[in-house]
Copies of this chain bind each other. A is one copy, B any other.
Amino acid sequence: MALPKSPLPTSIASQQHDHTQCIATAMTQAQEICTHNGARLTRLREQVLRLIWQSHKPLGAYALMDMLAQESTRRVAPPTVYRALEFLLEQGLIHRINTLNAYIGCTHPSAHHANNFLICEHCGVAIEFSTQSLQDNINQTARDLGFSIKAQSIELVGCCDRCEASRHD
């Protein structure tokens, strides 16, 4: 079974774009992936994923808890939201940004996930990226050092093109 591909060019998150489309696509893909994996995208999990997708800025677990409380007068305790996050991570629907202790929707959910992000200090947007040559380079470097990779996290913190432009206005 072929899973759908992401419609997002790598760096669109930092540009103006139709974000309702991002959300719609993410939710549709999530449902398809969960069905494909025989996993249940429950109301809570769906709700958490939708909240994460409200922007391209990573959100912390406690921010999500507050948003849940606001949105539905349903106040959940930490374990509840962490379990939803754990599920979404397992399904490859979100990533954890280690430098921020925060979570963000995956723009190309599929079986294998490199976890590569550009993180703008100014606007907070995290842009997922991946190129074959970079991945080849990483893999070759690890091989040269006799290391077998189980999980990969590349986080580049700096300033995105949009913020750079707006600072020179």
Interface size on A, residues (CB 8 A): 35
- A164 touching B148 by the CB < 8 A rule? yes
Whole-angstrom CA separation of A98 from B102 in the bound complex: 12
Contacts of A142 in B (CB 8 A): 118, 156, 158
Q: At the interface, is chain A mostly helix, strand, loop or mixed?
A: mixed
A153-B155, A154-B153, A154-B154 are known contacts. Are A146 and B134 too (CB-CB below 8 A)?
no
Considering only residues 136-155 of chain A, those with a C-beta below 8 Å from chain B are 137-138, 141-142, 145-155
Stretch from A23-31, A55-63, A67-75, A125-133 that touches the partner: A125-133
Nearest CB of chain B from residue A156's CB, rounded to whole Å: 5
A11 at the interface (CB under 8 A from B): yes
* Distance of A142 Cα from B160 Cα, bound (Å): 9
User: In the complex, what distance in Å separates the CA atom of A47 from the CA atom of B129?
Assistant: 40
- The answer to the question of A16 belonging to the interface, with a C-beta cut-off of 8 Å to chain B, is no
Residues A1-48 near B (CB distance < 8 A): 10-11, 14
Contact B146 A160 (CB under 8 A): yes
Min distance, Cβ A15 to any Cβ of chain B, angstroms: 10
Return chain B residues, CB-CB under 8 Å to A137.
Answer: 131, 133-134, 137
| Docked pose: A137 CA to B150 CA in angstroms | 21
Contact bitstring A63-105, B, C-beta under 8 A = 1, else 0: 0000000000000000000000000000000000011000000
